[in-house]
A and B are shown apart, each in its own frame.
Chain A
Amino acid sequence: MKPLALNLALALLALALFLASLAVGPAELGVSESVRGLFAGGGEAAAIIMREIRLPRALLGLSIGFTLGMAGAVLQGFLRNPLAEPGIIGVSAMAAFGAVAVFYSGLAGSALYALPAGALTGALAAVLLLMALAARNGSTLTLILAGVALSSLAGALTALVLNLSPNPFASYEIIFWLLGSLKDRSIAHVWLALPLMAAGWLLIALSARAIDALSLGEEAAASLGIHMARTRFLIVAGVALGVGAATAVAGTIGFVGLVVPHLIRPLTTRMPSRLLLPAGLGGAALLLAADVAVRLVLPAGELNVGVLTALIGAPFFLWLVVRARREVF
């Protein structure tokens, strides 16, 4: 498929699902009522529901899905590892731990900005650690095992911090941090996370040429004039910013970055850089679809979207492992 046609098709799909996300919710609003509520404003219930509840949710679904899809694509390209994904290699889990450690300790009162501050730190630590590991030993297996260890550790530390919180409700929030959700977010969350995620997209996009060259191997890339340290910085910072901000407001949403690049890669020229934008758009579409589905399956909205992405993604992961056993190891 031509890159332009692919991007256009995926963008249209994401847009359609964005609109579907705006249309779904416990309050049964008609189409004209929703549209009027969204654009006309005023004190009407429809306007408040559309602008304060559904729009933030749809925007977060779109941008977080885009971030996760793009981060998955760039990590798979850069690490030349088909199983790399922010969730699997432990970046999301560390981001969640960072957010939990800063927020629940009450260091910043109960201010919302404590969440991304902690999450970015956690994500950055995870990416740096994994990059250092990958630089020394490039095997697919090492990275995945390190990710498993990191995820378990971060999960345990998250549970520990939540249990230590004097607030009796805090320990129930472990489920949100392990399997994220977009429920009841507000526009404040969008303003908090979207700029950081956008910065992450930009940094990842700047690394596009380098990851293409890297697909020929590091020495070949160096001979093509690729500055390795710069590339590594762009990807570390880009993934940490994007995944950190996404996790800070939505918890850990796994497998989006794993599934989408694999589904879309056959439709591209297989150049890693050509995958970045379609993977982002596809990730947005997948997360929006999952978020619409959880609201339709349980109208009270209690099922976390992270549960659904894991239900889709984990069997896919298993299938990849089985296939990769033949091809990679």
Chain B
Amino acid sequence: MSEKAAPSRFPSPLRGGWTAAKGGRTGGVLSAVLNAYLPRLRRTLRSGASLWLLRSHLPLKGGDRASVLPAALLTLATLTAPAGAQPPARVMSLNVCTDQLAMALAAPGQLVSVSFLAREPDLSPLHREAERYPVNRGMAEDVFLARPDLVVTGTYTLHNTTQLLKRLGFRVEEFSFVQTLDTIPRDIRRMGKLLGREEEAEAMAAEFEAGLAEVEASQCGPRPTALAYEQNGVALGKGTLADSVLTAAGFKNLATEEGVEGMAPFPLELVVEKKPDIVIVPGSKGDAPSLGAFVPRHPALRALPATRIGAFVPRGSWSCGGPAVLEAVKALNALRQEIASCEASP
């Protein structure tokens, strides 16, 4: 279709917005502007149908009607401007892991919404706090409607959304998906800086570091082997948060020993063959059913006489790199002392 024919074929929300705004006299100007922006607009439109919705929600300010479109573009431009010294007044978090840090650090009223996963007890240690916030689905529409000054999200999840938001001029700060115990204090401080809450963040990070150091100082003697065994027989290996937690709590991670990098399937037969001292399986049974959940509950694991199988870590505590991970470290350390007490070993 030709460039000139295009405007009449735009879907109604977009066209409705413009035609409603244009007066008789300004019609010529408007169509000129429209045609000038059209190629780019169409390119953008191709990138996702959701944009139709977005553009239709552009704020239409009153006053001089001819300036409607420039005003809308201006709004977009102001969103690109760096926040400067002033801490952002409206912050939105799109990722369950950034939710944890944001909820822990934000000033009252600063956090506009958190992701819907923040209310899941299995994924979110701060799920109770999350009840106090509106939730978003991590969609670009959500962000556009809320018009936050700052969006915090993870690098891994919703990558397309992040690109889209950046292109639309939002300030998006991404936190790495790869998290270990080492990255947590850094992430806490970074979130504090972004929210203008440096002091709170520093206190929280320092407390975390001190707690971790205390646990690590109490380690001794032989390390029992452990395996974090997830749904579908996926093990958490080298480079994962679980791996660093197991190491800090005084365990050897069987998956890492067997060369698993990140999250990877770990055959049930190998678990039985290697007989780890503990197998950490997903806790909640009240979950909606899935076949994958049967694998960590396989009778072959229960038949291992000397292996302890259980959830062991507090619910949701190590699903995200946040202050709550310390609870998982402490719980596993207590278990480790029970299995191989420091007093008993020489």
Contact = CB atoms under 8 A, between A and B. Distances in A.
Interface of A: 25-27, 43, 45, 48-49, 52-54, 103-104, 106, 109-110, 112, 114, 165-167, 169-170, 172-173, 176, 184, 186-188, 300-302
B292 A110 contact: no
Nearest to B230: A169
Contacts of B231: 169
B213 interface: no
B305 interface: yes
Nearest to A301: B267
Contacts of B290: 104, 110, 165, 167, 169-170, 173
B288 interface: yes
B267 A300 contact: yes
A49 B273 CA distance: 8
A110 B300 contact: no
A49 B232 contact: no
A167 B288 contact: yes
Given A104-B289, A167-B287, A167-B288, 12 more contacts: A25-B269, A27-B270, A27-B272, A48-B304, A54-B269, A104-B288, A104-B290, A110-B290, A110-B293, A112-B294, A173-B290, A184-B295
A26 B260 CA distance: 14
B300 A53 contact: yes
In the A-B complex, the 9 residue pairs with the closest CB atoms: A110-B289, A52-B300, A167-B288, A27-B269, A26-B267, A27-B273, A43-B305, A166-B288, A169-B290
Contacts of B288: 104, 106, 165-167, 170
Contact of B299 (A43, A114, A172, A186): A186
Which range holds the interface residue count of chain B? 20 to 34
Q: Which of B272, B289, B303 has the most CB atoms of chain A within a 10 A radius of its CB? A: B289
Contacts of A169: 231-232, 290, 292-293
A54 B303 CA distance: 14
Most buried by A among B231, B232, B233, B269: B269
B238 interface: no
A45 B272 contact: yes
A54 B300 CA distance: 10
A109 B288 CA distance: 8
Most chain B CB neighbours (cut-off 10 Å) among A27, A48, A49, A114: A48
B303 to A, nearest CB: 5
B292 A49 contact: no
21 contacts: A25-B267, A26-B269, A43-B304, A43-B305, A45-B273, A45-B304, A48-B272, A48-B300, A53-B298, A54-B269, A110-B285, A167-B287, A170-B288, A170-B289, A172-B232, A173-B292, A184-B294, A184-B298, A186-B298, A188-B299, A300-B264
Contact of B269 (A53, A172, A188, A302): A53
Which of A43, A114, A167, A184 has the most C-beta atoms of chain B within 10 angstroms of its own C-beta? A184
A313 B60 CA distance: 60
B232 to A, nearest CB: 7
Contacts of A186: 294, 298-300
A225 B281 CA distance: 61
Interface in B256-296: 264-265, 267-270, 272-273, 275, 285, 287-295
B157 to A, nearest CB: 12
Contacts of B291: 103, 173, 176
Given A43-B303, A45-B273, A49-B273, A184 B293 contact: no
Contacts of A167: 287-290, 293
B292 A172 contact: yes
